[in-house]
Amino acid sequence: MIESSFPLLFAAVVGFGHAFEADHLVAVGNIVTRRDKLLLAIKDGIYWGLGHTSTILLIGALLIIGKATFLNGYFGYFEAIVGVMLIILGLVRLRQLMPSQQRQHKHSLTDDRKNHHLAYGVGLIHGLAGSGAMVLLVMTEIQESTDSILYLLIFGLGSAFGMLVAAGIFSLPFSRRLTESQKLQIGLTLLSAFLCIGYGAYIMIENLAA
């Protein structure tokens, strides 16, 4: 019983750690700068995890069950797409900091508190990056298709929990209960936006120039 459950426990631990990769953190760090409550940020982390898991399971099913080996040549482009997404996230956030956009952005926050579509969409795209390598690794270690898909599901849930933790931590400086320092919040938002742009450009160039 212990031996059979160990791979699933290992999948959860690996998934948890996977959430803390740099491209994941800069994206979710950018997203939670829009939140002023811890619970909303945590929900963003959960929705990111659900989107991330959705893509990994889809690609996993195509490779493991459908034997869609033609996807192997496209994973570098998938990584580049993640880089483009990060650049767009950073640029949009910078635009929202412009004085002419501040009032409109504050109004949209009021209307958009329960909307976590952005986090889910970012998670979907992030699932493209590294999913191929993860699926191929699982295929070499686990022979049964059902067990492989289960491993990927547990991995995805572990990453969702990891991002829940990360989103909660990153949102703390923006929580009304902890601080109302606008200078600190603007400074951290700028840092987050530039990190998104810089790291996104690095990912894009690295994968397209290869």
For 166-196, write each residue's pLDDT tens digit: 999 988 888 766 667 778 888 889 999 999 9
Predicted local distance difference test score (pLDDT) of residue 20: 92
State the pLDDT at residue 3: 47
Query: Residue 44, CB half-sphere, CA atoms under 13 Å: how many?
Result: 29
d(CA 30, CA 191): 9
Alpha-carbon gap, residue 123 to 125, rounded angstroms: 5
- At residue 61, the pLDDT reads 82
Please check whether residue 4 is in contact with residue 139, taking contact to mean a CB–CB distance below 8 angstroms: no
Three-class secondary structure of residue 145 per DSSP: helix
Average model confidence (pLDDT) across the chain: 82
73-108 as b/e: b if 16+ CB within 10 A: eebeebbbbbbebbbebbeebbebeeeeeeeeeeee
What's the pLDDT at 209? 78
Q: Using 50, 70 and 90 to split pLDDT, how confident is the model at 46?
A: very high
